[in-house]
Amino acid sequence: MTHRVLLLVFPEFQLLDATGPADVFAAVDEHLPARARPAYQLQAISLDGGMVASSSGLALATQPVPEPQELAGSTLLIAGGHGVQRALQHGPLIRWLGQAGPLAARCASVCTGAFLLAQTGLMSGRKVVTHWRYAELLQRIYPGVAVLHDSLFVHDGGFYSSAGVTAGMDLCLSLVEEDHGREVSLQVAKGLVMYLRRPGGQCQFSTELLAQQAPADGVMQRLLTELRTSLSAPWDVDGMAIYMNMSPRTLHRHCRAELGVTPARLLLHLRLEHACQLLEAGQASLKRVAQSSGFGNAYNLRQAFSRALGVTPGEYRQRFCR
């Protein structure tokens, strides 16, 4: 049967949050026999319908949102984008989403679309991810939501959420795998030149990217280099500040300005990334991984992985070991 996918957008949505997933679902037909096509019926929707401009200026033709009960058996995908702040204040949109979300077979958000889901109250007590830059804000505004700071995407009951922008395509590949199996999902990934289909428990970004975004005349590169070579040392924010000859407050300001994260979050990212690399290599024991990456012991390692990635170190190794 053809599965209906509704892509919910709003003014100044992120275009790729909607079109990226749409291309994933649309590509499935290339890998199915004629009798099984079309696999998905795609429809862009907005509260009032009509042309909706994205943050890039390009507009998408949409239909008005259907009655909530019409979403039975469908997948509802909520885009994010710069316009999410205004969308959060749009009572009729939030009310419709609060009614329609539980009735859909699958309700998913991309990037900051997670804020809209959280605003409805539907995600209270559930695991959620969003773009790493907005994870702390999401947790602060909605303390009842369990925000995973680093996962690419997460599934909790009938609700799904993904990290920033292209991670929505990773999420949709996993939905295709649910519907049509791993081989079709892999073929779609190859066709879209997504060379590595990234499962949800994997880290959503690399600290190498953080280093690359730091300004050439910034001060954080020196700290990044030192931390990477000595993660097993008992680093904390005070120790990092002393190394940089700064007060903790000044260090925090530079770290936020140049890298977009707090010093504590930067240290956690570095340790998680190093632990992930060791687990993917598959040789070191969990005790050795914990010690080498600075978590100290296997218990701390498990706690960090569960909070940040939603999986245990053992599960991570099983999924990603080369």
pLDDT tens, residue by residue, 265-319: 999 989 998 998 898 888 889 999 999 999 999 999 999 988 887 778 988 887 6
Tokens 């996962």 -> residue = 151
Q: Residue 197: inside a domain, yes or no?
A: no
In three-state secondary structure terms, 221 is helix
State whether 271 and 167 are in the same domain.
no
* pLDDT, averaged across the chain: 90
Confidence band (pLDDT; 50, 70, 90) for 196?
very low
State which of 240-249, 254-263, 278-287, 298-307 shows the largest mean pLDDT: 240-249
Within 13 A of 112's CA, how many CA atoms are on the CB side?
20
Residues 3-27 pLDDT 10s:
999 999 999 999 999 999 999 999 9
Task: Give the integer Cα–Cα distance in Å for 180 and 27.
Answer: 12
- The pLDDT of residue 2 is 95
Domain at 53, CATH number: 3.40.50.880
Strand 153-156 relative to strand 159-162, pairing:
antiparallel
Write the pLDDT tens digit of every residue in 43-63: 999 999 999 999 999 999 999
Q: What percent of the chain has pLDDT over 70?
A: 92
Stronger pLDDT, 127 or 132, i.e. the higher one: 127
Task: Note the pLDDT tens digit of each residue in 208-234.
Answer: 556 556 666 678 888 988 998 999 999
Establish if 20 belongs to a structural domain. Answer: yes
Q: Which domain does 307 fall in, by range? A: 207-320
Cβ atoms of 275 and 216 closer than 8 Å: no
Q: Looking at residue 199, what is its pLDDT?
A: 56
DSSP label at 235?
-
Give the tokens for residue 287. 């005790």
Domain boundary among the residues 191, 220, 238 is at: 191
CATH label of the domain that carries residue 256: 1.10.10.60
pTM of the model: 0.74
pLDDT at 147 over 80: yes
**Short-list 131, 162, 148, 140, CA closest to 272:** 148
Q: What is the mean pLDDT of residues 236-257?
A: 95
pLDDT at 203: 64
Q: Are residues 139 and 231 in the same domain?
A: no
Residue 275 forms part of a structural domain = yes
Closest CA to 58 of 14, 28, 91, 92: 14
Radius of gyration of the chain (CA): 21
What is the count of structural domains for the chain?
A: 2
